[in-house]
Amino acid sequence: MEPACITGIGVVSPLGVGKERFWEALVLGQSAVESYRPEGGPYASAVAARVKGIETTSGQARGSTLAIEAARLALADAGLGPGSAAVRESGIYVGEALSNLSLWEACLDGERGGAPDVLATSAACLSRAFRLEGEAITLASGCIGGLAAIGRAARDVRNGDVRMALAGASDSTLSPFPFAVLCKAKLLSTCPIPERAGRPFDSERDMEVTAEGAAFLVLESASAARARGARRLAVVRGFGMAGDAYHFKYNKPGGLALARAARAALDDAGLGPEDVDLVLAHASGFRGSDAIEVAALGALFAGRTRPLPPVVSIKGATGQPFSAGGSLQAAAAALALERQIVPPTAHFDHADPEDPFDHVRRAIKQESEVALLTSYGYGGGKAALVITRR
């Protein structure tokens, strides 16, 4: 089997549009969390992280608009024209969760002229936008959708089912209905001060900051990348999933399901916990779940003879964009390995007393070859991905 090489990265994030603006803001420890409330009444939360400078296409879900722009940037970064034969035949793998809810709102309220295409997934919109003729798969797996889409795509590239894949995720939860639902479920931070809201891994964290965004990768087999002289930015080596079937909102104490997913991803890559140099974690500032993720990683690295790897969450900077969170983690991991820099966890000041990991307050230079990515979602799903420098 050939490895699945990352040859293009496209990012549309609250930190900025394009991988360079995204990476620069991450390394500087900047955050896009700001004061925000949608129109339509009182909400418990008053903060969010928004993408600036991209207007939603009429009749199209906000998430689909963001997905198309991120995919365009990924193809350009890979040196691929949207009309080329390789692109037309590529597979499409998209994670999404709540992107279409704004269209249902518009349709019911009659706010937009004509009927919006409420049934069109982001994968369908990408197929139409770029005239892609390959298989288009949507993974409606909630927060793990981004890692699941990239993992499935990499597996199909490695198995020879596709030579090229466009894989990632997009989501937006900032319109009134999803924002109200998330507030009603008591999932969002009620801190009105942007710098104090969310705060992954911090002992004073107070739930998530909702957000929007998209990130896509171009994945190619090593031979396909070599044949067209493509740059090899990083390699997706392993993918694993698990579930704990415990509770809609909460992770099962102990984090064993997430540890199983991480071990499965490392086994798939032919690596072990000893080989991991960096962890890009899911942590979103959810009080119980962040601690359980620490417990899962503690179980994974128990017995390791090397010092524990740094464990970073980018959601202090980007907020929690649901499915897109995993694909933004993947973009950050590939860039961290390429540039040999570990970005910080924005808004992190003090760890829980039982937390042994370095969550990185300021960017550090570090020689890294292997990054482990972890993700979990409401309903109990867990996913992990292994990305290597070579």
**Which pLDDT tens digit goes with each residue over 261-309?**
999 999 999 999 999 999 999 999 998 999 999 999 999 999 999 999 9
Q: At what angle do helices 323-339 and 19-27 cross, to 10 degrees?
A: 80
**Residue 61 CA: distances (Å) to CA of 116, 173, 187, 189, 257:** 8, 11, 23, 25, 33
**Residue 191 CA: distances (Å) to CA of 36, 207, 290:** 12, 9, 18
Instruction: Report residue 221 as tokens.
Output: 């087999």
- Work out the average pLDDT over 62-85: 91
CA distance 124 to 110: 24
Q: Are 126 and 92 in contact (CB under 8 A)?
A: yes
- Work out the average pLDDT over 314-338: 97
Q: Per residue, what are the HEC states of 94-127?
A: EECCCCCHHHHHHHHHCCCCCCCCCCCCHHHHHH
Domains of the chain: 4-227 (3.40.47.10), 236-388 (3.40.47.10)
**Residue 143 CA: distances (Å) to CA of 47, 197, 306:** 19, 19, 31
Of these ranges, 85-94, 129-138, 220-229, the one predicted with the greatest mean pLDDT is 220-229
DSSP, res 321: -
pLDDT tens for 81-111 read 877 778 888 999 999 886 666 665 665 665 5
- Work out the average pLDDT over 306-319: 98
pLDDT band at 11 (very low <50, low <70, confident <90, very high): very high
Which of left, alpha, beta for 284 (phi over 0: left; psi -120 to 50: alpha)? alpha
- Of 8-12, 118-122, 163-167, 214-218, the least confident: 118-122
- Work out the average pLDDT over 361-388: 95
> What pLDDT is stored for residue 33 in this prediction?
97
DSSP, res 145: H
Instruction: Give first-to-last CA distance, the chain, whole Å.
Output: 15
Residue in the structure block whose two tokens are 């002992």: 203
Q: Point out which residues pair with 48 in neighbouring strands.
A: 34
CA distance 234 to 82: 22
DSSP string, 184-224: HTT-B---S-GGGSS-TTBTT--SB-BBEEEEEEEEEEHHH
Quick check: 244 pLDDT over 90?
no
**Residue 24 CA: distances (Å) to CA of 70, 325, 337:** 17, 18, 15
> What pLDDT is stored for residue 320 in this prediction?
96
Which of left, alpha, beta for 251 (phi over 0: left; psi -120 to 50: alpha)? beta
Q: Are 125 and 68 in contact (CB under 8 A)?
A: yes
Instruction: Give pTM, 2 decimals.
Output: 0.95
- Of 36-50, 64-78, 90-104, 231-245, the least confident: 90-104
Q: Are 319 and 282 in contact (CB under 8 A)?
A: no
Collapsing DSSP states into helix, strand and coil, what is residue 7?
strand
> What pLDDT is stored for residue 253 in this prediction?
85
Distance of alpha carbon 186 from its chain centroid, rounded?
22
Of these ranges, 104-108, 226-230, 254-258, 339-343, the one predicted with the greatest mean pLDDT is 339-343
CA distance 194 to 172: 19
Read off φ and ψ for residue 84, nearest 5 degrees.
-70, 155
Residues 6+ apart with CB under 8 A from 270: 237, 238
- How many C-beta neighbours within 10 Å does residue 55 have? 7
Q: Are 165 and 105 in contact (CB under 8 A)?
A: no
- Work out the average pLDDT over 138-156: 94
Residue in the structure block whose two tokens are 């490895």: 3
Residue in the structure block whose two tokens are 């969760």: 97
